Structure 1
Amino acid sequence: MHEAPIIDLGGFRLDLSIVIMLVVTCAIVFIVAKLATRNLSVENPGKLQNFLEWAAEFVRNMISSTMDWKKGKPFLSLAMTMIMFIFVANMLGLLFGVVTEYTDADKAKIFGKEIISVTEVLHEQHEKHPGEEAHAEVAWWKSPTADVSVTMGLALLVFLLSHGLGLFKNTKNYLKHYVQPYPLFLPINLIEQLSKLVTHGVRLFANIFAGEVLISTIMTLAKASAMGAIFSVPLLMVWDGFSIFVGAIQAFVFVILMMVYISQNLETHDEH
Protein backbone atom coordinates (compact mmCIF):
# COMPACT_ATOMS: atom_id res chain seq x y z
CA MET A 1 0.00 0.00 0.00
CA HIS A 2 1.05 3.58 -0.62
CA GLU A 3 1.92 5.92 2.21
CA ALA A 4 -0.23 8.90 3.15
CA PRO A 5 1.39 12.38 2.94
CA ILE A 6 1.41 13.22 6.64
CA ILE A 7 2.94 16.42 7.99
CA ASP A 8 3.24 17.85 11.48
CA LEU A 9 1.10 20.95 11.97
CA GLY A 10 1.08 22.43 15.44
CA GLY A 11 1.72 19.06 17.04
CA PHE A 12 -0.99 17.32 15.00
CA ARG A 13 -0.31 14.74 12.29
CA LEU A 14 -2.22 16.04 9.27
CA ASP A 15 -2.92 13.86 6.23
CA LEU A 16 -2.70 16.26 3.28
CA SER A 17 -4.34 13.81 0.86
CA ILE A 18 -7.50 13.78 2.98
CA VAL A 19 -7.57 17.58 3.12
CA ILE A 20 -7.12 17.81 -0.65
CA MET A 21 -9.76 15.20 -1.40
CA LEU A 22 -12.31 16.73 0.98
CA VAL A 23 -11.87 20.08 -0.77
CA VAL A 24 -12.26 18.40 -4.18
CA THR A 25 -15.39 16.54 -3.01
CA CYS A 26 -16.99 19.70 -1.62
CA ALA A 27 -16.15 21.60 -4.83
CA ILE A 28 -17.71 18.93 -7.06
CA VAL A 29 -20.90 18.75 -4.99
CA PHE A 30 -21.19 22.56 -4.96
CA ILE A 31 -20.61 22.85 -8.73
CA VAL A 32 -23.16 20.11 -9.54
CA ALA A 33 -25.77 21.68 -7.25
CA LYS A 34 -25.08 25.14 -8.66
CA LEU A 35 -25.35 24.00 -12.28
CA ALA A 36 -28.52 22.02 -11.56
CA THR A 37 -30.27 25.03 -10.00
CA ARG A 38 -28.82 27.77 -12.22
CA ASN A 39 -31.59 27.95 -14.82
CA LEU A 40 -34.65 26.38 -13.24
CA SER A 41 -37.56 25.93 -15.60
CA VAL A 42 -41.00 24.40 -15.24
CA GLU A 43 -41.71 24.06 -18.97
CA ASN A 44 -38.26 23.03 -20.22
CA PRO A 45 -36.12 21.63 -17.42
CA GLY A 46 -32.53 20.67 -18.22
CA LYS A 47 -30.95 17.28 -17.69
CA LEU A 48 -29.25 18.33 -14.46
CA GLN A 49 -32.49 19.81 -13.15
CA ASN A 50 -34.31 16.57 -13.95
CA PHE A 51 -31.60 14.63 -12.16
CA LEU A 52 -31.79 16.90 -9.12
CA GLU A 53 -35.58 16.60 -9.01
CA TRP A 54 -35.32 12.81 -9.23
CA ALA A 55 -32.67 12.78 -6.48
CA ALA A 56 -34.81 15.05 -4.28
CA GLU A 57 -37.82 12.78 -4.72
CA PHE A 58 -35.69 9.73 -3.98
CA VAL A 59 -34.34 11.29 -0.78
CA ARG A 60 -37.81 12.47 0.20
CA ASN A 61 -39.06 8.87 -0.02
CA MET A 62 -36.10 7.78 2.11
CA ILE A 63 -37.02 10.28 4.81
CA SER A 64 -40.73 9.43 4.62
CA SER A 65 -39.88 5.77 5.19
CA THR A 66 -38.29 6.62 8.56
CA MET A 67 -40.63 9.32 9.93
CA ASP A 68 -43.66 11.43 9.21
CA TRP A 69 -42.91 13.86 6.36
CA LYS A 70 -43.94 16.88 8.44
CA LYS A 71 -41.14 16.06 10.88
CA GLY A 72 -38.71 14.95 8.19
CA LYS A 73 -39.10 17.84 5.75
CA PRO A 74 -36.52 20.08 7.51
CA PHE A 75 -33.90 17.35 6.96
CA LEU A 76 -34.29 17.16 3.17
CA SER A 77 -31.37 19.52 2.47
CA LEU A 78 -29.18 17.70 4.98
CA ALA A 79 -29.94 14.29 3.48
CA MET A 80 -29.48 15.55 -0.09
CA THR A 81 -26.12 17.11 0.75
CA MET A 82 -24.94 14.07 2.67
CA ILE A 83 -25.84 11.50 0.02
CA MET A 84 -24.26 13.60 -2.76
CA PHE A 85 -21.12 14.21 -0.69
CA ILE A 86 -20.63 10.56 0.24
CA PHE A 87 -21.37 9.27 -3.27
CA VAL A 88 -18.88 11.69 -4.87
CA ALA A 89 -16.30 10.90 -2.18
CA ASN A 90 -16.74 7.16 -2.79
CA MET A 91 -16.23 7.60 -6.54
CA LEU A 92 -13.08 9.74 -6.53
CA GLY A 93 -10.69 6.88 -5.87
CA LEU A 94 -12.04 4.97 -8.89
CA LEU A 95 -11.12 7.62 -11.46
CA PHE A 96 -7.34 7.63 -11.24
CA GLY A 97 -4.51 7.90 -8.77
CA VAL A 98 -1.73 10.40 -8.20
CA VAL A 99 1.36 8.76 -6.71
CA THR A 100 4.80 10.24 -6.15
CA GLU A 101 7.95 8.33 -5.23
CA TYR A 102 10.68 9.46 -2.85
CA THR A 103 14.15 8.00 -2.39
CA ASP A 104 15.77 10.88 -0.48
CA ALA A 105 14.40 11.85 2.94
CA ASP A 106 15.77 15.38 2.54
CA LYS A 107 13.53 15.93 -0.50
CA ALA A 108 10.40 14.60 1.17
CA LYS A 109 8.96 18.03 1.86
CA ILE A 110 5.93 20.05 0.81
CA PHE A 111 5.29 23.71 1.58
CA GLY A 112 8.53 23.57 3.55
CA LYS A 113 7.12 20.88 5.83
CA GLU A 114 8.65 17.42 6.24
CA ILE A 115 6.44 14.55 5.03
CA ILE A 116 6.77 12.52 8.21
CA SER A 117 5.31 9.30 6.83
CA VAL A 118 7.91 9.22 4.03
CA THR A 119 10.95 9.95 6.17
CA GLU A 120 9.89 7.32 8.70
CA VAL A 121 9.60 4.65 5.98
CA LEU A 122 12.90 5.62 4.36
CA HIS A 123 14.76 5.57 7.68
CA GLU A 124 13.21 2.21 8.57
CA GLN A 125 14.25 0.72 5.24
CA HIS A 126 17.81 2.06 5.64
CA GLU A 127 18.03 0.43 9.08
CA LYS A 128 16.75 -2.94 7.85
CA HIS A 129 18.69 -2.95 4.58
CA PRO A 130 21.75 -0.71 4.92
CA GLY A 131 23.47 0.04 1.65
CA GLU A 132 20.35 -0.54 -0.45
CA GLU A 133 18.33 2.25 -2.03
CA ALA A 134 15.16 2.96 -0.07
CA HIS A 135 12.00 4.30 -1.63
CA ALA A 136 8.49 5.26 -0.54
CA GLU A 137 5.39 5.89 -2.66
CA VAL A 138 2.86 8.49 -1.56
CA ALA A 139 -0.77 8.52 -2.72
CA TRP A 140 -2.23 12.01 -3.10
CA TRP A 141 -5.52 11.12 -4.77
CA LYS A 142 -7.96 8.65 -3.21
CA SER A 143 -11.49 8.42 -1.88
CA PRO A 144 -11.66 10.43 1.36
CA THR A 145 -14.18 7.89 2.67
CA ALA A 146 -11.41 5.26 2.45
CA ASP A 147 -9.98 6.93 5.57
CA VAL A 148 -11.56 5.97 8.89
CA SER A 149 -11.08 9.46 10.35
CA VAL A 150 -13.37 10.91 7.66
CA THR A 151 -16.14 8.32 8.00
CA MET A 152 -16.01 8.46 11.79
CA GLY A 153 -16.16 12.25 11.57
CA LEU A 154 -19.33 12.00 9.47
CA ALA A 155 -20.77 9.42 11.86
CA LEU A 156 -19.93 11.63 14.85
CA LEU A 157 -21.69 14.56 13.18
CA VAL A 158 -24.83 12.44 12.75
CA PHE A 159 -24.49 11.14 16.32
CA LEU A 160 -24.32 14.65 17.83
CA LEU A 161 -27.12 15.94 15.62
CA SER A 162 -29.53 13.09 16.33
CA HIS A 163 -28.91 13.08 20.08
CA GLY A 164 -28.97 16.88 20.26
CA LEU A 165 -32.38 16.92 18.56
CA GLY A 166 -33.64 14.21 20.88
CA LEU A 167 -32.36 16.00 23.98
CA PHE A 168 -33.73 19.43 23.15
CA LYS A 169 -36.88 18.60 21.14
CA ASN A 170 -38.02 15.38 22.77
CA THR A 171 -36.39 15.67 26.18
CA LYS A 172 -38.71 13.56 28.34
CA ASN A 173 -39.03 10.58 26.01
CA TYR A 174 -35.38 10.80 24.96
CA LEU A 175 -34.07 10.54 28.54
CA LYS A 176 -36.74 7.98 29.49
CA HIS A 177 -35.50 5.67 26.75
CA TYR A 178 -32.18 5.10 28.51
CA VAL A 179 -33.81 3.53 31.58
CA GLN A 180 -36.29 1.32 29.73
CA PRO A 181 -37.47 -1.30 30.35
CA TYR A 182 -35.68 -1.04 33.73
CA PRO A 183 -33.11 1.42 35.18
CA LEU A 184 -30.56 -1.41 35.28
CA PHE A 185 -30.53 -1.30 31.48
CA LEU A 186 -28.91 2.15 31.45
CA PRO A 187 -25.35 0.85 30.75
CA ILE A 188 -26.63 -1.45 28.00
CA ASN A 189 -28.57 1.37 26.34
CA LEU A 190 -25.51 3.65 26.49
CA ILE A 191 -23.35 0.93 24.92
CA GLU A 192 -26.00 0.48 22.22
CA GLN A 193 -25.78 4.15 21.26
CA LEU A 194 -21.98 4.07 21.14
CA SER A 195 -22.05 0.92 19.02
CA LYS A 196 -24.32 2.69 16.53
CA LEU A 197 -21.74 5.47 16.24
CA VAL A 198 -18.87 3.05 15.62
CA THR A 199 -20.68 0.78 13.16
CA HIS A 200 -22.11 3.76 11.26
CA GLY A 201 -18.64 5.07 10.46
CA VAL A 202 -16.70 1.81 10.18
CA ARG A 203 -19.19 0.21 7.76
CA LEU A 204 -18.66 2.97 5.18
CA PHE A 205 -14.89 3.03 5.67
CA ALA A 206 -14.45 -0.76 5.43
CA ASN A 207 -16.37 -1.10 2.16
CA ILE A 208 -14.63 1.78 0.37
CA PHE A 209 -11.17 0.96 1.74
CA ALA A 210 -11.47 -2.69 0.71
CA GLY A 211 -12.37 -1.60 -2.82
CA GLU A 212 -9.33 0.65 -3.09
CA VAL A 213 -7.04 -2.07 -1.73
CA LEU A 214 -8.21 -4.42 -4.47
CA ILE A 215 -7.74 -1.73 -7.12
CA SER A 216 -4.20 -1.20 -5.85
CA THR A 217 -3.59 -4.96 -6.00
CA ILE A 218 -4.82 -5.11 -9.61
CA MET A 219 -2.56 -2.20 -10.55
CA THR A 220 0.39 -4.00 -8.95
CA LEU A 221 -0.46 -7.04 -11.08
CA ALA A 222 -0.41 -4.83 -14.17
CA LYS A 223 3.14 -3.69 -13.35
CA ALA A 224 4.42 -7.20 -12.71
CA SER A 225 4.49 -8.49 -16.29
CA ALA A 226 3.00 -8.12 -19.76
CA MET A 227 0.58 -10.99 -19.05
CA GLY A 228 -0.42 -9.33 -15.80
CA ALA A 229 -1.11 -6.08 -17.66
CA ILE A 230 -3.38 -7.90 -20.12
CA PHE A 231 -5.41 -9.64 -17.42
CA SER A 232 -5.57 -6.54 -15.24
CA VAL A 233 -7.59 -4.52 -17.80
CA PRO A 234 -10.80 -6.62 -17.69
CA LEU A 235 -10.38 -7.17 -13.95
CA LEU A 236 -10.12 -3.43 -13.37
CA MET A 237 -13.15 -2.69 -15.56
CA VAL A 238 -15.28 -5.26 -13.76
CA TRP A 239 -14.17 -4.14 -10.31
CA ASP A 240 -14.66 -0.44 -11.11
CA GLY A 241 -18.20 -1.19 -12.24
CA PHE A 242 -18.89 -3.15 -9.07
CA SER A 243 -17.27 -0.41 -6.96
CA ILE A 244 -19.63 2.19 -8.44
CA PHE A 245 -22.55 0.02 -7.34
CA VAL A 246 -21.04 -0.48 -3.86
CA GLY A 247 -20.29 3.25 -3.52
CA ALA A 248 -23.88 4.15 -4.36
CA ILE A 249 -25.27 1.54 -1.96
CA GLN A 250 -23.00 2.71 0.86
CA ALA A 251 -24.06 6.33 0.37
CA PHE A 252 -27.70 5.20 0.56
CA VAL A 253 -27.09 3.04 3.65
CA PHE A 254 -25.26 5.82 5.49
CA VAL A 255 -28.01 8.37 4.86
CA ILE A 256 -30.93 6.03 5.57
CA LEU A 257 -29.31 5.09 8.88
CA MET A 258 -28.80 8.78 9.62
CA MET A 259 -32.52 9.40 9.15
CA VAL A 260 -33.40 6.32 11.23
CA TYR A 261 -31.27 7.56 14.12
CA ILE A 262 -32.77 11.05 13.93
CA SER A 263 -36.26 9.57 13.79
CA GLN A 264 -35.63 7.32 16.79
CA ASN A 265 -34.58 10.27 18.93
CA LEU A 266 -37.39 12.54 17.79
CA GLU A 267 -40.18 9.98 18.14
CA THR A 268 -41.55 8.74 21.45
CA HIS A 269 -39.95 5.60 22.83
CA ASP A 270 -42.96 4.20 24.66
CA GLU A 271 -42.97 1.11 22.43
CA HIS A 272 -39.26 0.38 22.94
Structure 2
Amino acid sequence: MIHESPIIELGGLRFDLSIILMLVVTCTIVFVIARLATRNLSVENPGKMQNFMEWVVEFVQGLISSTMDLKKGKPFLSLGMTLIMFIFVGNMLGLPFGIVTEYTDASKAHIFGHEIVSVTEKIHDEQVANPGEEVEVGVAWWKSPTADASVSMGLAGMIFVLVHFLGITRNTKGYFKHYLQPFAFFLPINLIEQFSKLLTHGMRLFGNIFAGEVLISVLITLGSSSIVGAVASVPLLMIWQGFSIFVGSIQAFVFTILTFVYISQAIDTHEEH
Protein backbone atom coordinates (compact mmCIF):
# COMPACT_ATOMS: atom_id res chain seq x y z
CA MET A 1 0.00 0.00 0.00
CA ILE A 2 1.39 3.38 -1.02
CA HIS A 3 0.77 6.01 1.63
CA GLU A 4 0.31 9.72 1.09
CA SER A 5 2.91 12.30 2.10
CA PRO A 6 1.96 14.91 4.75
CA ILE A 7 1.86 18.03 2.61
CA ILE A 8 0.84 21.47 3.87
CA GLU A 9 0.60 24.81 2.09
CA LEU A 10 2.47 27.92 3.23
CA GLY A 11 2.44 31.08 1.17
CA GLY A 12 1.11 29.25 -1.85
CA LEU A 13 3.93 26.70 -1.72
CA ARG A 14 3.55 23.04 -0.80
CA PHE A 15 5.88 21.50 1.79
CA ASP A 16 6.28 17.78 2.43
CA LEU A 17 6.69 17.55 6.20
CA SER A 18 7.97 13.97 6.08
CA ILE A 19 10.84 14.97 3.80
CA ILE A 20 11.72 17.95 5.99
CA LEU A 21 11.66 15.69 9.07
CA MET A 22 13.80 12.99 7.47
CA LEU A 23 16.35 15.48 6.10
CA VAL A 24 16.75 16.93 9.60
CA VAL A 25 17.13 13.43 11.07
CA THR A 26 19.67 12.42 8.40
CA CYS A 27 21.75 15.56 8.86
CA THR A 28 21.64 15.14 12.64
CA ILE A 29 22.83 11.53 12.49
CA VAL A 30 25.69 12.38 10.12
CA PHE A 31 26.71 15.34 12.29
CA VAL A 32 26.65 13.22 15.46
CA ILE A 33 28.75 10.49 13.82
CA ALA A 34 31.30 13.05 12.62
CA ARG A 35 31.37 14.76 16.01
CA LEU A 36 31.88 11.52 17.92
CA ALA A 37 34.61 10.43 15.50
CA THR A 38 36.60 13.65 15.93
CA ARG A 39 35.89 14.45 19.59
CA ASN A 40 38.90 12.72 21.17
CA LEU A 41 41.48 12.29 18.43
CA SER A 42 44.47 10.18 19.37
CA VAL A 43 47.47 8.94 17.41
CA GLU A 44 48.54 6.27 19.89
CA ASN A 45 45.15 4.95 20.95
CA PRO A 46 42.42 5.84 18.41
CA GLY A 47 38.87 4.91 19.32
CA LYS A 48 36.45 2.85 17.23
CA MET A 49 34.69 5.93 15.87
CA GLN A 50 38.01 7.52 14.92
CA ASN A 51 39.05 4.32 13.14
CA PHE A 52 35.72 4.30 11.31
CA MET A 53 36.15 7.90 10.16
CA GLU A 54 39.72 7.21 9.05
CA TRP A 55 38.38 4.29 7.01
CA VAL A 56 35.80 6.59 5.39
CA VAL A 57 38.54 9.11 4.56
CA GLU A 58 40.73 6.42 2.98
CA PHE A 59 37.78 4.99 1.08
CA VAL A 60 36.80 8.37 -0.37
CA GLN A 61 40.44 9.12 -1.22
CA GLY A 62 40.45 5.86 -3.15
CA LEU A 63 37.37 6.96 -5.08
CA ILE A 64 39.02 10.28 -5.91
CA SER A 65 42.31 8.72 -7.02
CA SER A 66 40.42 6.29 -9.29
CA THR A 67 38.86 9.18 -11.22
CA MET A 68 41.48 11.97 -11.16
CA ASP A 69 44.87 12.95 -9.82
CA LEU A 70 44.66 12.94 -6.02
CA LYS A 71 46.31 16.36 -5.81
CA LYS A 72 43.55 17.80 -7.99
CA GLY A 73 40.85 15.96 -6.15
CA LYS A 74 42.00 16.58 -2.59
CA PRO A 75 39.81 19.72 -2.19
CA PHE A 76 36.76 17.51 -2.87
CA LEU A 77 37.49 15.06 -0.03
CA SER A 78 35.02 16.72 2.35
CA LEU A 79 32.38 16.78 -0.38
CA GLY A 80 32.80 13.06 -1.01
CA MET A 81 32.68 12.17 2.68
CA THR A 82 29.54 14.25 3.20
CA LEU A 83 27.81 12.76 0.16
CA ILE A 84 28.55 9.12 0.89
CA MET A 85 27.63 9.39 4.59
CA PHE A 86 24.49 11.47 3.99
CA ILE A 87 23.19 9.23 1.20
CA PHE A 88 24.02 6.00 3.05
CA VAL A 89 22.30 7.14 6.25
CA GLY A 90 19.34 8.48 4.27
CA ASN A 91 19.02 5.19 2.37
CA MET A 92 18.99 3.20 5.61
CA LEU A 93 16.39 5.21 7.54
CA GLY A 94 13.36 3.70 5.85
CA LEU A 95 14.43 0.09 6.50
CA PRO A 96 13.97 -0.55 10.25
CA PHE A 97 10.42 0.77 10.64
CA GLY A 98 7.84 3.23 9.37
CA ILE A 99 5.50 5.68 11.07
CA VAL A 100 2.04 5.87 9.50
CA THR A 101 -1.06 7.70 10.70
CA GLU A 102 -4.54 6.98 9.39
CA TYR A 103 -7.20 9.61 8.65
CA THR A 104 -10.88 9.00 7.97
CA ASP A 105 -12.15 12.52 8.67
CA ALA A 106 -10.83 15.41 6.59
CA SER A 107 -11.61 17.88 9.37
CA LYS A 108 -9.02 16.17 11.60
CA ALA A 109 -6.25 16.27 9.00
CA HIS A 110 -4.41 19.22 10.51
CA ILE A 111 -0.98 19.74 12.01
CA PHE A 112 0.47 22.88 13.59
CA GLY A 113 -2.79 24.61 12.66
CA HIS A 114 -2.35 23.84 8.96
CA GLU A 115 -4.45 21.57 6.78
CA ILE A 116 -2.73 18.45 5.45
CA VAL A 117 -3.86 19.08 1.90
CA SER A 118 -2.66 15.73 0.56
CA VAL A 119 -5.07 13.98 2.94
CA THR A 120 -8.08 16.25 2.47
CA GLU A 121 -7.75 16.11 -1.32
CA LYS A 122 -7.42 12.32 -1.28
CA ILE A 123 -10.44 11.88 0.99
CA HIS A 124 -12.50 14.24 -1.19
CA ASP A 125 -11.53 12.40 -4.38
CA GLU A 126 -12.33 9.00 -2.85
CA GLN A 127 -15.70 10.22 -1.54
CA VAL A 128 -16.60 11.55 -4.97
CA ALA A 129 -15.55 8.29 -6.63
CA ASN A 130 -17.17 6.06 -4.00
CA PRO A 131 -20.04 7.98 -2.33
CA GLY A 132 -21.28 6.58 0.93
CA GLU A 133 -18.19 4.46 1.59
CA GLU A 134 -15.79 5.09 4.48
CA VAL A 135 -12.47 6.43 3.29
CA GLU A 136 -9.18 5.79 5.11
CA VAL A 137 -6.00 7.56 4.05
CA GLY A 138 -2.60 6.57 5.41
CA VAL A 139 0.14 9.17 5.81
CA ALA A 140 3.80 8.11 5.97
CA TRP A 141 5.95 10.24 8.27
CA TRP A 142 9.10 8.11 8.46
CA LYS A 143 10.85 6.98 5.27
CA SER A 144 14.15 7.29 3.45
CA PRO A 145 14.49 10.87 2.18
CA THR A 146 16.25 9.56 -0.93
CA ALA A 147 13.07 7.60 -1.77
CA ASP A 148 11.61 10.97 -2.79
CA ALA A 149 12.43 12.19 -6.30
CA SER A 150 12.75 15.82 -5.20
CA VAL A 151 15.53 14.96 -2.72
CA SER A 152 17.47 12.73 -5.10
CA MET A 153 17.14 15.20 -7.96
CA GLY A 154 18.01 18.04 -5.59
CA LEU A 155 21.29 16.29 -4.72
CA ALA A 156 21.97 15.62 -8.39
CA GLY A 157 21.11 19.24 -9.23
CA MET A 158 23.61 20.60 -6.70
CA ILE A 159 26.33 18.36 -8.15
CA PHE A 160 25.31 19.43 -11.68
CA VAL A 161 25.72 23.11 -10.81
CA LEU A 162 29.02 22.49 -8.99
CA VAL A 163 30.47 20.46 -11.86
CA HIS A 164 29.73 23.08 -14.48
CA PHE A 165 30.88 25.92 -12.22
CA LEU A 166 34.22 24.14 -11.76
CA GLY A 167 34.47 23.52 -15.49
CA ILE A 168 33.84 27.18 -16.33
CA THR A 169 36.18 28.58 -13.68
CA ARG A 170 39.03 26.04 -13.69
CA ASN A 171 39.10 24.80 -17.27
CA THR A 172 37.34 27.53 -19.23
CA LYS A 173 38.83 26.90 -22.68
CA GLY A 174 38.64 23.12 -22.53
CA TYR A 175 35.20 23.15 -20.95
CA PHE A 176 33.52 25.15 -23.72
CA LYS A 177 35.58 23.50 -26.45
CA HIS A 178 34.43 20.00 -25.57
CA TYR A 179 30.83 20.90 -26.47
CA LEU A 180 31.96 21.26 -30.09
CA GLN A 181 33.85 17.98 -30.26
CA PRO A 182 34.36 16.06 -32.40
CA PHE A 183 32.53 18.51 -34.70
CA ALA A 184 30.58 21.73 -34.12
CA PHE A 185 27.26 20.22 -35.20
CA PHE A 186 27.54 17.83 -32.22
CA LEU A 187 26.68 20.73 -29.90
CA PRO A 188 22.99 19.75 -29.42
CA ILE A 189 23.97 16.13 -28.70
CA ASN A 190 26.61 17.19 -26.17
CA LEU A 191 24.10 19.48 -24.45
CA ILE A 192 21.56 16.66 -24.26
CA GLU A 193 24.28 14.44 -22.80
CA GLN A 194 24.89 16.88 -19.95
CA PHE A 195 21.22 17.04 -19.00
CA SER A 196 20.88 13.27 -19.30
CA LYS A 197 23.68 12.95 -16.74
CA LEU A 198 21.66 15.11 -14.36
CA LEU A 199 18.56 12.98 -14.86
CA THR A 200 20.26 9.59 -14.53
CA HIS A 201 22.39 10.72 -11.58
CA GLY A 202 19.34 11.55 -9.50
CA MET A 203 16.76 9.09 -10.81
CA ARG A 204 19.07 6.09 -10.38
CA LEU A 205 19.28 6.81 -6.66
CA PHE A 206 15.57 7.57 -6.32
CA GLY A 207 14.42 4.55 -8.34
CA ASN A 208 16.41 1.98 -6.40
CA ILE A 209 15.53 3.27 -2.93
CA PHE A 210 11.87 3.94 -3.75
CA ALA A 211 11.41 0.48 -5.28
CA GLY A 212 12.92 -1.10 -2.17
CA GLU A 213 10.55 0.73 0.15
CA VAL A 214 7.54 -0.13 -2.01
CA LEU A 215 8.38 -3.83 -1.80
CA ILE A 216 8.85 -3.59 1.98
CA SER A 217 5.42 -1.94 2.19
CA VAL A 218 3.93 -4.76 0.10
CA LEU A 219 5.48 -7.42 2.35
CA ILE A 220 4.17 -5.66 5.48
CA THR A 221 0.69 -5.52 3.91
CA LEU A 222 0.98 -9.23 3.11
CA GLY A 223 1.90 -9.94 6.72
CA SER A 224 -1.23 -8.20 8.01
CA SER A 225 -3.56 -9.91 5.55
CA SER A 226 -3.67 -13.40 7.10
CA ILE A 227 -1.80 -15.88 9.29
CA VAL A 228 -0.26 -17.55 6.24
CA GLY A 229 0.76 -14.16 4.90
CA ALA A 230 2.31 -13.23 8.24
CA VAL A 231 4.37 -16.43 8.33
CA ALA A 232 5.51 -16.03 4.74
CA SER A 233 6.28 -12.33 5.00
CA VAL A 234 8.72 -12.58 7.95
CA PRO A 235 11.57 -14.41 6.15
CA LEU A 236 10.90 -12.50 2.94
CA LEU A 237 11.06 -9.20 4.81
CA MET A 238 14.31 -10.16 6.53
CA ILE A 239 15.89 -11.20 3.23
CA TRP A 240 14.73 -8.07 1.43
CA GLN A 241 15.87 -5.74 4.20
CA GLY A 242 19.30 -7.36 4.11
CA PHE A 243 19.40 -6.92 0.35
CA SER A 244 18.20 -3.31 0.73
CA ILE A 245 21.18 -2.55 2.98
CA PHE A 246 23.43 -3.79 0.18
CA VAL A 247 21.53 -1.76 -2.44
CA GLY A 248 21.58 1.37 -0.27
CA SER A 249 25.33 1.04 0.21
CA ILE A 250 25.94 0.52 -3.50
CA GLN A 251 23.80 3.51 -4.43
CA ALA A 252 25.70 5.77 -2.02
CA PHE A 253 28.93 4.53 -3.61
CA VAL A 254 27.65 4.97 -7.18
CA PHE A 255 26.33 8.49 -6.59
CA THR A 256 29.62 9.59 -4.99
CA ILE A 257 31.95 8.09 -7.56
CA LEU A 258 29.86 9.48 -10.43
CA THR A 259 30.21 12.90 -8.78
CA PHE A 260 33.99 12.57 -8.94
CA VAL A 261 33.83 11.29 -12.52
CA TYR A 262 31.81 14.34 -13.60
CA ILE A 263 34.13 16.71 -11.72
CA SER A 264 37.16 15.07 -13.31
CA GLN A 265 35.66 15.46 -16.77
CA ALA A 266 34.86 19.13 -16.13
CA ILE A 267 38.30 20.14 -14.84
CA ASP A 268 40.28 17.89 -17.19
CA THR A 269 42.76 20.03 -19.10
CA HIS A 270 43.09 17.56 -21.98
CA GLU A 271 41.41 18.32 -25.24
CA GLU A 272 39.10 15.33 -24.96
CA HIS A 273 37.10 14.06 -22.00
Deviations 1:121-155 (A, max 9, x none): 11111112212211100000000000000000000
Structure 1 counterpart of 2:126, one-letter code: Q
* 1:131 matched to 2:132: yes
Q: Which residue number corresponds to residue 214 of structure 1? A: 215
Deviations 1:48-78 (CA, angstroms, capped at 9, x unpaired): 1111111110110000000001100000001
Deviation (angstroms), 1:268? 2.2
Distance in 2 (CA, whole Å) between partners of 1:261 and 1:271 is 14
User: Is the contact between residue 92 and residue 142 of structure 1 (CA under 8 Å) also seen in structure 2?
Assistant: yes
The correspondence of residues 86-97 of structure 1 with structure 2, limited to 5 A, is 86-97=87-98
**1:208 Cα deviation (Å)?**
0.2
Once the two structures are TM-superposed, the CA of residue 269 in structure 1 deviates from its matched residue by 4.2
Partner secondary structure for residue 14 of structure 2 = strand
- Residues in 1 aligned to 2:265 and 2:6: alpha-carbon distance in whole angstroms: 40
1:45 maps to amino acid: P
Is 2:192 the partner of 1:170? no
Alignment RMSD: 0.7
Q: Is the contact between residue 90 and residue 144 of structure 1 (CA under 8 Å) also seen in structure 2?
A: yes
Aligned to 1:201: 202
Rounded Cα–Cα distance in structure 2 between residues aligned with 1:195 and 1:271:
19
Contact 1:6 1:115 in 2 (8 A): yes
Q: Does 1:257 align with 2:258?
A: yes
Unaligned runs of 5+ in 1: none
Residue 226 of structure 1 and its aligned partner are, at CA, apart by 1.1
In structure 1, the residue matched to 2:109 is 108
Partners of 1:91 and 1:247 within 8 A in 2: yes
* Residue in 2 that maps onto 1:16: 17
How far, CA to CA, are the matches of 1:26 and 1:143 in structure 2? 12
Match of 1:74 in 2: 75
Q: Aligned letter for 1:130? A: P
Unaligned runs of 5+ in 2: none
| C-alpha distance in 2 between matches for 1:81 and 1:89 | 12
User: Which ranges of 4 or more aligned residues in structure 1 deviate by more than 2 Å?
Assistant: none
Q: Work out whether residues 91 and 144 of structure 2, in 8 Å CA contact, stay in contact via their aligned partners in 1.
A: yes
Q: Structure 1 CA distance, aligned partners of 2:74 and 2:125?
A: 55
Match of 2:150 in 1: 149
Residues in 1 aligned to 2:159 and 2:133: alpha-carbon distance in whole angstroms: 49
The structural deviation recorded for 1:271 is 3.0
SS in 1 for 2:4: coil
Amino acid at match of 2:22: M
Q: Distance in 2 between matches of 1:182 and 1:129?
A: 60
Residue 235 of structure 1 aligns with which residue?
236
Q: State, as a whole percentage, how many aligned pairs show the same letter.
A: 70
Cross-structure match for 2:181:
180
Q: Which amino acid aligns with 1:31?
A: V
How far apart, in 2, do the equivalents of 1:269 and 1:89 lie?
37
Aligned amino acid, residue 254 of structure 2:
V
* 2:224 corresponds to 1:223: yes
Instruction: Work out the CA distance in 2 between the residues paired with 1:214 and 1:30.
Output: 30
Q: TM-score, normalised by structure 2?
A: 0.98
SS of residue in 2 equivalent to 1:133: coil
Q: Do the aligned partners of 2:178 and 2:272 also contact (CA within 8 Å) in 1?
A: no
What residue identity is the alignment partner of 1:73? K
Distance of 2:190 and 2:173 partners within structure 1: 16
